[in-house]
């Protein structure tokens, strides 16, 4: 795992700020969601004093030398000297430098601002942005996995999802800091079945710290698949997650199907752990991988493992879980961070 962080003297470590900073009304604004694979950007404007995202453009991160070059490519010939940008991005800030394991290049906030020529640049946690967007998700973008068929958000709401990495945040009903960001993807992975223990034992032979992302992410699914192959004495057939999932969808490879099934169950267990840890009253499953495994979730052990929490399983029976089908949550959340959108409790 490569961690993008510049060497520096000891400084405070913090999540990107949860408190919106007032931005000049007269300046243009870029809102962005930057993940390990893609960056999504849009112009934000005001319609009656409300920030609103316009057409979202997508850039493949590996095709660009830095975050600044993506911002410049998005702007085209337009000067960014009078533009403010709010970027939702995975990681935590160490001083002015973003600590992140999945981006193809390092990110320094002030260096990026200067290179892009922006008036200002503010970084917020990617799942903080997703959590800010949750109150604005339309009902037809939600699919029930457990509990109430009709969405009726109860607070606090746990928002999490696997993508290139694994993100999570807690959304409260109101308050000056309505979102608690987290780095749950880097917390230690916990096994709940004999098979998961065997997988975890193999992964610990490769890495001294096996975090949740090592399995519960896009790249993690490949680690899981290869471990299952090793346990069964099989030769891995699929070199990446895309082809692994394609084989699972075709039903042509029992080990591919098992990898997805184990992935879903393990994810359900983590969701249940986080729900009882934070006292969540509703759960939203987002992230790109969640969309790719959507057909498998209903028949998988996801819900059974979500509820398998001893006496607190009865509590989780009352905590609904929805899958969110919305590709621009981070961009929407970055716009909401600038100024609350209609319907925001805070």
pLDDT at 123 > cutoff 60: yes
Mean pLDDT is lowest, of 32-41, 104-113, 143-152, 182-191, for 143-152
Mean pLDDT of the chain: 88
Mean pLDDT is lowest, of 25-39, 49-63, 93-107, for 49-63
> Which tokens go with 318?
């009352």
Cβ proximity of 212 and 166 under 8 Å: yes
pLDDT-based confidence at residue 295 (cuts at 50, 70, 90): very high
Which residues fall within 8 angstroms of residue 54, CB to CB, at 6 or more apart? 42, 43, 44, 45
pLDDT-based confidence at residue 18 (cuts at 50, 70, 90): very low
CA distance 224 to 267: 12
Kindly report, residue by residue over 272-287, the tens digit of the pLDDT.
999 999 999 999 999 9
**Residue 6, CA distances (Å) to 10, 14, 61, 123, 309 in order:** 12, 15, 19, 17, 41
Q: Burial-class residue 22 by CB neighbours within 10 Å (0-12, 13-18, 19+).
A: exposed
Kindly report, residue by residue over 63-106, the tens digit of the pLDDT.
999 999 999 999 999 999 999 999 999 888 888 899 888 899 99
Q: How much is the pLDDT for 77?
A: 94
Mean pLDDT is lowest, of 155-169, 243-257, 322-336, for 322-336
- DSSP character at residue 282: E
pLDDT-based confidence at residue 339 (cuts at 50, 70, 90): low
Nearest-5° Cα angle at 263, 191 to 184: 60
Secondary structure (3-state) at 246:
helix
More confident residue, 173 or 222: 222
pLDDT at 13 > cutoff 50: no
pLDDT at 7 > cutoff 70: no
- CB contact burial 279-308 (16+ within 10 A = b; e otherwise): ebbbbbbbbbbbbbbeebbeebbbbebbbb
Q: How much is the pLDDT for 51?
A: 53
CA distance 248 to 233: 19
Q: How much is the pLDDT for 6?
A: 33
Cβ proximity of 208 and 219 under 8 Å: no
Which parts of 172-315 are beta strand (E)?
A: 179-181, 282-285
Average pLDDT over residues 188-205: 98
pLDDT at 207 > cutoff 80: yes
């Amino acid at each position: 795992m490569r961690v993008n962080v510049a060497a520096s003297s000891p400084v405070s470590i913090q999540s990107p700020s949860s408190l919106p900073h007032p931005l000049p009304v007269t300046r243009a604004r870029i809102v962005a969601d930057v993940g390990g694979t893609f960056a999504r950007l849009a112009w934000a404007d005001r319609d009656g004093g409300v920030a609103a995202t316009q057409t979202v453009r997508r850039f493949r991160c590996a095709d660009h030398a830095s975050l600044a070059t993506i911002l410049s490519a998005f702007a085209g010939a337009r000067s960014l000297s009078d533009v403010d940008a709010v970027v939702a991005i995975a990681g935590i800030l160490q001083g002015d430098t973003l600590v992140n394991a999945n981006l193809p290049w390092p990110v320094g906030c002030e260096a990026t601002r200067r290179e892009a020529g922006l008036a200002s640049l503010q970084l917020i946690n990617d799942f903080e942005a997703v959590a800010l967007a949750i109150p604005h998700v339309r009902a037809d973008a939600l699919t029930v996995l457990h509990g109430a068929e009709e969405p009726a958000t109860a607070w606090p709401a746990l928002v999490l999802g696997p993508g290139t990495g694994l993100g999570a945040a807690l959304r409260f009903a109101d308050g000056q800091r309505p979102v608690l960001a987290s780095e749950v993807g880097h917390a230690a992975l916990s096994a709940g079945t004999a098979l998961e223990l065997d997988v975890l034992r193999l992964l610990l032979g490769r890495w001294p710290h096996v975090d949740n992302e090592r399995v519960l992410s896009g790249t993690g699914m490949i680690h899981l698949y290869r471990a299952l192959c090793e346990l069964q004495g099989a030769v891995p057939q699929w070199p990446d997650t895309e082809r692994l999932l394609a084989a699972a969808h075709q039903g042509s490879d029992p080990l591919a199907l098992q990898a997805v099934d184990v992935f879903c169950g393990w994810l359900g267990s983590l969701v249940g752990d986080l729900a009882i840890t934070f006292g969540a009253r509703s759960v939203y499953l987002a992230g790109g991988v969640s969309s790719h495994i959507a057909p498998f979730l209903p028949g998988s052990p996801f819900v059974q493992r979500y509820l398998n929490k001893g006496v607190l399983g009865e509590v989780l029976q009352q905590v609904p879980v929805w899958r969110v089908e919305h590709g621009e949550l981070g961009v929407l959340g970055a716009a909401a961070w600038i100024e609350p959108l209609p319907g925001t409790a805070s």
